[in-house]
Amino acid sequence: MLGAYLPIIVLLVVAACFGLGSVVVSSLVGQKKLSPVKLQPYECGCEPVGSAQERFSIKFYLIAMLFILFDIECVFLYPWAVLFKRLGVFGLIEMGVFVVILFVGYIYVWKKGALEWE
Amino acid sequence: METIAIPAINMSVIAPEMILSVVAMALLLINVFVKNEQKGYLGYLSIAGILVTLYSLTIGWGAPQDGFSGSVVQDNFAIFFKGIFLVSAAMSILITDQYLQREGCNQGEVYPLMLFATVGMMLMASGTDLMTIFLGLEVLSVSLYVLAGFNRGSIRSNEAGLKYFLLGAFSTGFLLYGMALTYGATGTTKVVKIAAAAQSGMVSSNLMLVAGMLLMATGFAFKVAAAPFHMWTPDVYEGAPTPITAFMSVGPKAAGFAAFLRVLLVALPVFKAEWSSLLWVLAVLTMTVGNITALYQQNIKRMLAYSSIAHAGYILVGFTAGNAVGTSGILFYMLSYAFMNIGAFAVIILVGKKGEENNNLADYAGFGYKHPALGVAMCVFLFSLAGIPPAAGFVGKFYLFSGAIQAGYIWLAIIGVLNSAASVYYYLRVMIYMYFKEPTEDFNWVRLSPAFIICLIIAIAGVMIPGVVPGTILELAQKAILM
């Protein structure tokens, strides 16, 4: 039974060898002409401004979390819309329940002021 | 275009869960529209919701039915456990408001969160599909992580929340991996079908099934705080707000045992010899580690945390036996444990004051003289926890240990009784402080609100009545076992 997993193991080994191999070979064979410009995080012409390790406002996290929550709602709405006719009334009611539950959460975060930036 | 066939759904199976969820969502909405001083009323509303749910549960007693293609079942076993969850949730809610007001964190969210946690527990007790059990566990756990860190101003509470979250998520991983392996070995997640597949002797993949069982047992052992997976318990119980500690020392533990029992007794009876010996070791370790560590505690919340570990050990004794007496003993014990533990925590809340929890044993000096009624109540709960007749704790332990003896685990029963005897020392020590030490405080801050009086009366009745006349509850428990 475990034999069925052999192709996956082979794939894993090949992928690991390819990834490691290309890094090792290019560091052994490749030319190294280092300059301050080349060592910058982005080699695209943009001048780095300040350190990347700054403190972010916690509000970003809150907004991101709320975004994911309602994004998931959309993720569920799309396949339901595609199969709307075949799922019939049952699907409509179930989706209604789902949306109402999320709507309760929406009213909650709204009244709590989580959507206000200041 | 043809319509998609909808599998048979039986909404009445999850009617209690639906009622409680709707109440919780309504409370969440009401919460944002009322002023801070009125948040206490949310507690009474949630208790009303719990009572309605309890009523809807009793209708289903004796008439098991399943729904959602056999993913959920409403049998006596589930109903008995759900009764425990609801009673313990109601009692914890009764003691919550006063504590939160005192500590200045009376946010109304605590009630919906407790109700959602209860819904999760109920799903766990009902789940006959590994996925349903997992879903219930997640609903329960996520609510509890928030509840443990509910006192946002307190650094201890924050620590408890974070620790519980990290270790809980870790243990969930074990459980889920075990479920995945079980699914891989049997090709199904339904407990009944797992049993059939395991019986049909697919020898080549049995090892995978055993590995799955072991990982699931590890995950459940984390959740019920059995040694050696108990390390999170004392820190979380100590740091969490005390009413929440009361809540999560009873309900979630019972829910963990409900799911654990169903998975092992229904899905994997083929491996009974294997899991019995595994549980034997777990039971002995859990009882011994819990009791011996509790002997050294100076902080009463930590002491009760270790005592709750020890009690998980006693329950594992009945579980190891795996027979009718042991299983009904578990049900009986879990119910009486709810009353005695929440009662003890109620008194602990009253001894504390704002900013000072007064959790050290020395803080209890002379408490029994200053507040005779509360002192006597505390003694009743401690006697019951220690397993001294005529309290319910004694009857429960009696059935757990006699189940073990019937199944031939004489040594396990002996170790259990010895452990129980050792536990008397640390329970009695609290009473010694309460009655045999000179009071250093006048305890004039202790304020008995009606909610506390109701909670304590229910707790004392729940400890004494089944202790003196165990017949009725025991009959219910015997009708609720899975065999």
Model pLDDT for residues B20-70, shown as the tens digit of each residue:
999 999 999 999 988 877 888 899 999 999 999 999 999 888 888 888 888
Using CB atoms, which residue from A83, A90, A111 is nearest to B32?
Answer: A111
Question: How far is residue B189's CA from residue B289's CA, in Å, rounded to a whole number?
Answer: 34
Q: Tell me: pLDDT of B278 over 80.
A: yes
B53: nearest Cα among B75, B12, B86: B86
Task: Using DSSP bridges, classify how beta strands B65-67 and B72-74 pair: parallel, antiparallel or unpaired.
Answer: antiparallel
Q: How far is A33 from chain B (nearest CA, A)?
A: 46
- Is residue B411 domain-resident? yes
Query: Containing domain of residue B326, as a range?
Result: 271-483
- Within a domain: residue B298? yes
CB within 8 Å: A111 and B2: no
pLDDT the model gives residue B404: 94
Name B67's bridge partners.
B72
Interface of A with B in 99-118 (CB under 8 A): 101, 104, 107-108, 111-112
pLDDT exceeds cutoff 90 at A54: no
Contacts of A86 in chain B (CB under 8 A): 1-4
Distance CA A112, CA B161 (A): 22
How does pLDDT run across B358-414, given as a tens digit for each residue? Answer: 888 888 988 888 899 999 999 999 999 999 988 999 999 999 999 999 999 999 999
Would B302 be classed as within a structural domain? Answer: yes
Say if B40 falls within a structural domain. Answer: no
Task: Quote the CA–CA distance of A83 and B138 in Å, as a whole number.
Answer: 29
Work out the percent of chain B whose per-residue pLDDT is above 70. 98
Alpha-carbon B442 to chain mean position: 34
Q: How far is the alpha carbon of B43 from chain A, nearest alpha carbon, in Å?
A: 18
Q: Identify the residue with better confidence: B418 or A1.
A: B418
B34 belongs to a structural domain: no
Does A55 contact B at CB distance below 8 Å?
Answer: no
Q: Is residue B286 domain-resident?
A: yes
pLDDT reading at B213 higher than 70: yes
Residue B450 lies inside a defined structural domain of this protein: yes
Asked whether the beta carbons of residue B33 and residue A111 sit closer than 8 angstroms, the reply is yes
Contact A87 B3 (CB under 8 A): yes
Does the CA dihedral B130-B132-B137-B138 come out positive or negative?
Answer: positive
pLDDT in tens, B423-474: 999 999 999 999 998 888 888 888 888 999 999 999 999 999 998 888 888 8
Q: What is the pLDDT of residue B34?
A: 87
Omega within 30 of 0 (cis) for the link into B241: no
Are B28 and A108 in contact (CB < 8 Å)?
A: yes
pLDDT per residue as tens digits for the range B306-317: 999 999 999 999
Check pLDDT > 70 for residue B240.
yes
Asked if B145 and B163 touch (Cβ cutoff 8 Å), the reply is: no
Please list every residue in chain B whose beta carbon sits closer than 8 Å to the beta carbon of residue A116: none
| Upper half-sphere CA count for residue B242 (Cβ side, 13 Å) | 33
Mean of all residue pLDDT scores within chain B: 91
Structural domain count, chain B: 1
B416, part of any domain: yes
CA distance B475 to B330: 13
Cβ–Cβ below 8 Å for B1 and A86: yes
pLDDT of residue B164: 95
